[in-house]
Amino acid sequence: MNKTHAFRLKPGNDLKKEIESYVRMNNLQAGWISCGVGSLTDYNIRFANQPEGSKNSGHFEIVSLTGTVSVNGSHIHITISDSKGKTIGGHLLDGNLIYTTAEL
């Protein structure tokens, strides 16, 4: 049975932790994020072929959020832009804090 889930996160929430919590609460076995938008005050993203995440604080728009989710593990990518339009993306890590909202 296919089911669509849509939810909104609030300011100060950790994006990845809240997604993982939602996945556990709803016992999602094989899901995917088709769309995600919102804003962040802090980001922590692991860029391609890098061992550690890259962090920064400020105001960032979530331009894209996509990936697979499961109680057995998730693989989520995020793309964000800053106030000058500079855009970066990579693997979503813990420590991405919501500014105004995030909607998935």
How far apart (Å, rounded) are the C-alpha atoms in residues 76 and 53? 14
Domains, the chain, in order of start with CATH, read 8-103 (3.30.1330.80)
pTM: 0.94
pLDDT the model gives residue 57: 98
Residue 31, strand partner residues: 69
pLDDT the model gives residue 2: 82
Q: Give residue-wise pLDDT tens across range 33-79.
A: 999 999 999 999 999 999 999 999 999 999 999 999 999 999 999 99
Across the chain, mean pLDDT equals 96
Tell me the two tokens of residue 104: 């998935």
pLDDT the model gives residue 24: 97
Asked if residue 58 lies in contact with residue 41, where contact means CB atoms within 8 angstroms, the answer is yes
Tell me the two tokens of residue 88: 């970066």
Residue type, 14: D
- What is the maximum span of the chain, computed from C-alpha positions, in angstroms? 43
